[in-house]
């Protein structure tokens, strides 16, 4: 599919390098670490969405044998947060959502800690909660963070003092009002997206321990060890050289493990008990309530079009339900703000994206980072505009979809764009123009399509580093801090290094997940790992190769331009060979410890390559209008199409086919690409039809898999196919871009569009349940 004979490793679907460890149970996750003399933590949580803490009585709990320490928010009041320092790990003065941690206990056993929690009495005075982003916007709304104007915040975010607005992102391009006046038609639509849970297999768990010298080690299920280290250092005023974060394997994250969650609860308890590890693990119910959730969102889209179907103006308003703390959520709202037009060439755009405090669970990053939510609106709106004009949903996408040399909403000129190629591929593979078979009068089938895009939402100067070392036998250690969370990055990074050195990937062992032992990586988020960490790995391998070539010049007696690396899988090695005298060759491990000269002296020393990468030519956008010639590293664009069957008697929707095509630049591993895209389609299917956190007065009513439904194997489409359009990224390693998150973006709106095409009812809120469909069909009849 992707290997054109140019490469020996790139494009190959080699097996996952971590596969054996995971299927045999040898992989060690954060919950697998058990230490002598461990103390176990449990937490007293708020039963109210918004309340003042009047008093806390811990006296009876302190008397319980086996209880070691009890802390409240008064023990450590400093706020923390990656982008906006608004978060306390234990509530201070007020509670802001149901489930917020109020008191933490550590004891000799979990059972004792739980009993101690039951003995703690907290007296609350209920306050009026804010339970929707629309209510949060009202001038007379209760202030959830009255001290917002004093919080430390990154300069690219703009809280509005004395309101519930923690960030207002503004984008302006062209003259929107003038364009609306000139438009043939102007239409407006509204859409709603609920909160959803990430539902990783592994729940959050953390163990913290202080050594006698004051050094802190945290074993945690986290996606971004260096970001967690930085956040914990800032929050607890511990020097970075005294903080070590270990997270070797992570059992799924989808964004829920990108920031800090429970680490800040166990650290103060560990500080009170030096030398003793303190451990806290979330139950599945805790995971639903107290880990990040995907933020809810209300969208209003106003679109102006010409008679021919060219979009000339668009105004978007996004109101995000950020929950009780938005220290990470503000960045999602920013991403939505500058991507709000979708992958379309629109000359006049105005977007206002608001992050709003509510008394709901804490919103945070979720696969797609806001793109799934806004595209549910963008892509349905596009179908509605096409219907109003009397043209097909396909034709409006052909006329407006981004092409090379078109401008994005931020004024960036696209060097390449795979939109049109992806669209045509999906139309062909789905046989979109072929009528569906409708042989059952009680069931009706139809097809739908949607597109999507995503860029890495990250600072313009984020850094990555990698080290590769050759062992004496010609094997290698590759060191990185890109976190393997199931997406296959360990395999892709290994392939990149193997390609540069022309060695068998089996000779490379990758290590990561330890901030003391491995070099810096910003975060494993934003679908940036293959691109950013991959570039660092490629540079490290090239650095090592250059050092080997320097020594080989001396050893082989020729210039390095006349030397090449020849992979020999039969002998499980690689030879360094003189080009015109191929009998003049030596195994690569000849240079593992440098070069021994004829007189017995040595030179060069151990073979180590170092790679450092910062995204080239990224420039911050103007905060007034979000315009910049290059605000992001890249855009990944793609299209998903589907065929659905709607049961007119039960309202049940069966997705029969889902087909996607994306432009990820160059595919590094064909099997992993297909797995990412196919998995993303199934995850999108779940959010489209079933997944929703049902909130009543701020309380989650369905915090278990009994009541919160995610797709099973039985729900998967019979046809689930992924295709690729490779328009290489100039700055990517071997031309690669990220794919993990973008692959989910168009799935839900494609299903929504197909349901509309089947029954003629537009659903502006997800999930689209069987009950919703039956109710709509009843209204149709009346």
For 406, half-sphere exposure in the C-beta direction (CA atoms, 13 angstrom radius) is: 19
Between the CA of residue 620 and those of 330, 336, 457, 459, what are the distances in Å? 17, 16, 12, 8
d(C-alpha 425, C-alpha 419), whole Å: 10
pLDDT above 70: residue 337: yes
- Count the neighbouring beta carbons within 10 Å of the beta carbon of residue 478: 25
Q: What is the pLDDT of residue 134?
A: 98
Q: What is the mean pLDDT of the chain?
A: 96
- C-alpha 24, offset from chain centre: 27
Q: What confidence tens digit (pLDDT) does each residue in 607-661 have?
A: 999 999 999 989 999 999 999 999 999 999 999 999 999 999 999 999 999 999 9
d(CA 305, CA 57): 63
Active-site option among 314, 379, 741, 775: 741
According to the model, what pLDDT value does residue 31 have?
A: 95
CA distances, 671 to each of 3, 9, 640 (Å)? 12, 13, 19
Decide if pLDDT at 3 tops 70.
no
pLDDT at 4: 63
Q: Given this model, what pLDDT does residue 707 score?
A: 96
Is omega for the bond preceding 767 within 30 degrees of 0, making it cis?
yes
Looking only at the bridges linking them, the beta strands covering 101-107 and 39-45 are: antiparallel
pLDDT tens for 353-379 read 999 999 999 999 999 999 999 999 999
Q: How far apart are the two ends of the chain, measured CA to CA in Å? A: 52
Residue 350, strand partner residues: 172, 315
Would you say 235 and 524 are in contact if contact means Cβ atoms under 8 Å apart?
no
pLDDT tens digits for 120-136?
Answer: 999 999 999 999 999 99
Residue 585 CB contacts under 8 Å (≥ 6 apart), including other chains: 566, 575, 576, 577, 578
Q: Which of 14, 7, 21 is nearest to 511 (CA)?
A: 21
Buried b vs exposed e over 186-216: b needs ≥16 C-beta within 10 Å?
A: bbebebbbbbbbbbbebbbbbbbbbeeeeeb
298, pLDDT greater than 80: yes
Arithmetic mean of pLDDT, 736-740: 97
**Cα–Cα dist 412/405, whole Å:** 9
Q: What is the pLDDT of residues 169-196, one digit of tens each?
A: 999 999 999 999 999 999 999 999 999 9
The pLDDT assigned to 262 comes to 94
Residue 741 designated active-site: yes
Compute the distance between CA of residue 349 and CA of residue 370 in angstroms, rounded to an integer: 18
In angstroms, the CA 696 to CA 727 distance is 47
Q: What is the pLDDT of residues 665-683, one digit of tens each?
A: 999 999 999 999 999 999 9
DSSP H or E run through 552: helix 534-556
DSSP sequence for 509-547: EEE-SBTTTS--B--S-TT-IIIIIHHHHHHHHHHHHHH
C-alpha distances (whole Å) from 414 to each of 193, 408, 452 are: 30, 7, 15
Distance CA 192, CA 664 (A): 29
The percentage of residues in the chain with a pLDDT greater than 70, rounded to a whole number, is 99
- Per-residue tokens: 568: 């020999």
pLDDT in tens, 222-272: 999 999 999 999 999 999 999 999 998 999 999 999 989 899 999 999 999
The pLDDT of residue 1 is above 70: no
Say what the alpha-carbon torsion angle 228, 229, 230, 234 is, to the nearest 10 degrees: 100
DSSP 8-state symbol, 355: E
What confidence score (pLDDT) does residue 781 get? 85
User: Given a cut of 90, is residue 438 above it in pLDDT?
Assistant: no
pLDDT of residue 782: 77
pTM of structure: 0.97
Using one digit for the tens of pLDDT, what is the confidence trace for 457-514?
999 999 999 999 999 999 999 999 999 999 999 999 999 999 999 999 999 999 999 9
**pLDDT score of 149 more than 70:** yes
pLDDT in tens, 210-234: 999 999 999 999 999 999 999 999 9
């Amino acid at each position: 599919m992707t290997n054109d004979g140019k490469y020996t490793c790139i494009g190959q679907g080699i097996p996952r390098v971590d596969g054996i460890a995971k299927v045999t149970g040898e992989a060690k996750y954060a919950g697998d670490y058990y230490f002598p003399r461990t103390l176990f933590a449990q937490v007293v949580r708020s039963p109210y969405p918004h309340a003042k803490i009047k008093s806390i009585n811990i006296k009876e709990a302190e008397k319980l044998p086996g209880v070691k320490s009890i802390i409240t928010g008064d023990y450590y009041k400093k706020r923390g947060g990656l982008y906006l320092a608004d978060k306390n790990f234990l509530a201070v003065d007020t509670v802001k959502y149901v489930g917020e941690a109020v008191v933490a206990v550590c004891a000799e056993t979990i059972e004792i800690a739980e009993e101690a929690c039951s003995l703690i009495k907290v007296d609350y005075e209920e306050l009026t909660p804010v339970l929707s982003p629309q209510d949060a916007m009202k001038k007379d709304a209760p202030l959830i963070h009255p001290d917002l104007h004093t919080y430390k915040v990154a300069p690219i975010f703009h809280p509005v003092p004395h309101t519930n607005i923690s960030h207002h992102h503004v984008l302006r391009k062209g003259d929107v009002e003038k364009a609306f006046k000139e438009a043939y038609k102007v239409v407006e639509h509204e859409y709603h997206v609920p909160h959803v849970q990430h539902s990783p297999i592994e729940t959050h768990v953390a163990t913290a321990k202080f050594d006698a010298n004051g050094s802190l080690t945290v074993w945690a299920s986290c996606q971004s060890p260096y970001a967690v280290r930085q956040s914990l250092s800032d929050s607890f005023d511990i020097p970075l050289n005294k903080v070590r974060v270990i997270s070797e394997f992570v059992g799924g994250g989808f964004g829920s493990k990108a920031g800090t969650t429970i680490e800040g609860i166990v650290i103060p308890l560990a500080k009170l008990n030096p030398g003793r590890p303190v451990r806290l693990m979330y139950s599945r119910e805790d995971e639903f309530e107290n880990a990040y959730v995907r933020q809810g969102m209300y969208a209003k889209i106003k679109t102006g079009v010409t008679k021919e179907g060219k979009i000339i103006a668009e105004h978007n308003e996004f109101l995000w339900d950020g929950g009780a703390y938005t220290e990470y959520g503000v960045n999602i709202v920013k991403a939505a703000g500058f991507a709000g037009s979708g992958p379309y060439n629109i000359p006049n755009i105005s977007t206002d994206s608001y992050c709003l405090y509510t008394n709901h669970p804490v919103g945070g990053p979720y696969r797609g980072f806001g793109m799934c939510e806004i595209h549910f609106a963008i892509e349905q709106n596009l179908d509605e505009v096409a219907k109003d004009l009397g043209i097909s949903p396909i034709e409006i996408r052909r006329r407006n979809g981004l092409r090379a040399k078109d401008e994005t909403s931020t004024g960036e000129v696209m060097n390449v764009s795979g939109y049109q190629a992806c669209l045509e591929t999906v139309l062909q593979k789905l046989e979109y123009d072929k009528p569906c078979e409708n042989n059952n009068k009680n069931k009706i089938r139809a097809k739908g399509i949607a597109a999507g895009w995503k860029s890495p939402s990250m600072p313009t100067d984020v850094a990555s580093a990698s080290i590769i070392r050759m062992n004496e036998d010609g094997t290698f250690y590759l060191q990185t801090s890109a976190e393997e969370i199931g997406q296959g990055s360990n395999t892709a990074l290994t392939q990149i290094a193997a390609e540069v050195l022309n060695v068998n990937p089996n000779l490379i062992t990758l290590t990561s997940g330890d901030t003391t032992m491995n070099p810096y990586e910003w975060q494993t988020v934003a679908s940036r790992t293959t691109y950013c960490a991959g570039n660092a790995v490629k540079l490290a391998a090239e650095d090592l190769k250059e050092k080997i070539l320097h020594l080989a010049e001396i050893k082989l007696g020729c210039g390095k331009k006349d030397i090449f690396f020849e992979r020999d899988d039969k002998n499980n090695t690689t030879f360094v060979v003189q080009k015109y005298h191929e009998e003049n060759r030596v195994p690569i491990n000849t240079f593992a410890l440098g070069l021994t000269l004829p007189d017995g002296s040595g030179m060069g020393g151990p073979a180590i390559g170092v790679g450092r990468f910062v995204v080239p030519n990224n420039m911050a956008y103007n905060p007034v209008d979000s315009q910049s010639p290059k605000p992001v590293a890249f855009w990944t664009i793609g299209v998903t199409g589907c065929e659905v069957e709607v049961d007119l008697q039960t309202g049940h929707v069966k997705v029969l086919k889902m087909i996607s095509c994306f432009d990820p630049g160059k595919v590094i591993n064909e099997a992993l690409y297909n797995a990412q895209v196919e998995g993303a389609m199934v995850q999108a299917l779940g959010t489209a039809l079933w997944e929703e956190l049902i909130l009543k007065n701020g309380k989650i009513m369905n915090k278990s898999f009994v009541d919160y439904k995610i797709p099973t194997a039985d729900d998967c489409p019979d046809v689930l196919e992924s295709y690729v359009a490779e328009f290489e990224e100039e700055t990517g390693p071997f031309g690669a871009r990220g794919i993990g998150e973008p692959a989910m973006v168009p799935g839900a709106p494609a299903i929504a569009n197909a349901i509309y095409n089947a029954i003629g009812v537009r659903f502006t809120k997800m999930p689209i349940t069987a009950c919703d469909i039956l109710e709509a069909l009843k209204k149709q009849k009346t």
